[in-house]
Structure formats: C-alpha cells, structure tokens
Amino acid sequence: MRIIDITQPLGTGTAVWPGDQRFMLEWTLEQARGDSVNVAAVTMSVHTGTHTDGGFHVARNGTRAAELPLEAFIGSALVVDARRVELDEGILDDVDLSGITRVLFRTRDAIDPSVFPASFKSPTEGLARRLVEAGVRLVGSDAPSMDHVDSKTLDTHHVLVNAGVAVLENLVLSDVEPGVYTLIALPLKFTEADSSPVRAVLIEGKLEDR
C-alpha cells in the first residue's frame, strides 16, 4: 500500500490568496528560554494551503467546517488529467463516472507552494452542474479556487455548495497519475469557521464505499 501526500506544506513561506492573512507562527513556550516544553501558536487563514471550502464561505446559511459530512472526504476518488484541456463539460466526454463519487482535477505540471499562480484553471459552471447530475459528492483541484481569480459571483462554488458537494482546493497532484485512488482529506472540527485546512492523502487502490 502506497500513501501519496497531496497536501501543501504549511509554513511562513506558504503563498496565500492575494490580500488574505499570511501564515504566522510564534513560540509561546520554548525550551531554549528555559520552558519545559516547546509550544507554537499559529495565525492563518483557513484557506491557506490545501483546504476544503464550507458552504458558509459563499452563503450566509451555508455549513461551517464542523458541519461538513466526513463521509464525503473518505473513499474512492478519480484523478483526471486536465493539464492540456479546458476544464469544461467536454473533459468528461471520455471519462467513465460509473461508481465515482469524488473527482480530483490535475491542472498543473508542478506546484510551488511558495508562489501564488498568476493564472489557473477553474471548472466552468456547466462542468460543475454535470458533476452534480452524475452524483459526485466531492470535487477537488490543484488550483487555489473553483472559480476564476477575478470572479465576484463564484458561480461554480454556488453550484457545488448548493448541491451539497464538498470542495477541495490547493491539492498537490504533481506526482499523481490519472486513475482511481482512495482519498482521505478530513477537515478540522472548526465550529465557527467557514472552511478548514485538511491533510489530504491518496492511497493506491479503490476503497469500496459503504
């Protein structure tokens, strides 16, 4: 069994959405200062690095991070290579979604977590609707957002969130070949936050969903 870590590292050099809270760390206790233990305190946006968007991110009555259904984040997932094609409905023409409830799109050749990409691909609203109609319960991407960087209406987010589809962003799929894997990407149980960082991994092989 091979476990593939598809999570961006979190640190002071991690890139964030322009204008968002950067990752900051301070030591509240340090053995070097004579304390008995080392204890770090972190300040960060919940959208830093690899994360899931809760419904409250885009809708006032949406789900908070702690309310997200955990079963959406564990199970078989199809990785689709979208590096050389548009991220629209046509990408599914040659994809068999039979029995697939989680889809991850690889859109880039490589990921540099310290650099926010100048441009990136995001699923069209039409693609989102087609995924919803196919019964997909989680959509992920190696891009920072499910919508264009300049979008104010966040149409793709709304289509997915309104249908109860979980969203994963900023995955690291650089070394992942297309195919079916087992995904584990659990959000933290933040009771008030709109979204949450995740530690996302793929395991080679398909886990039969229950």
Name the E strands within the chain.
3-5, 24-29, 39-43, 51-53, 74-81, 102-106, 138-141, 166-169, 179-187, 195-204
Per-residue tokens: 55: 């419904």
Dihedral class, residue 154 (left if φ above 0, else alpha if ψ from -120 to 50, else beta): left
The one catalytic residue in 47, 57, 157, 158 is 57
Instruction: Find, among 49, 70, 146, 59, the residue nearest to 104 by Cα.
Output: 146
163 neighbors 139 (Cβ within 8 angstroms):
no
Instruction: Name the β-bridge partners of 79.
Output: 104, 179
**Pairing of β 138-141 and β 166-169:** parallel
φ/ψ of 67, rounded to 5, equals -95, -5
148 given a catalytic annotation: no
Question: Is the Cβ–Cβ distance between 6 and 168 less than 8 Å?
Answer: no
Q: Which residues are catalytic?
A: 57
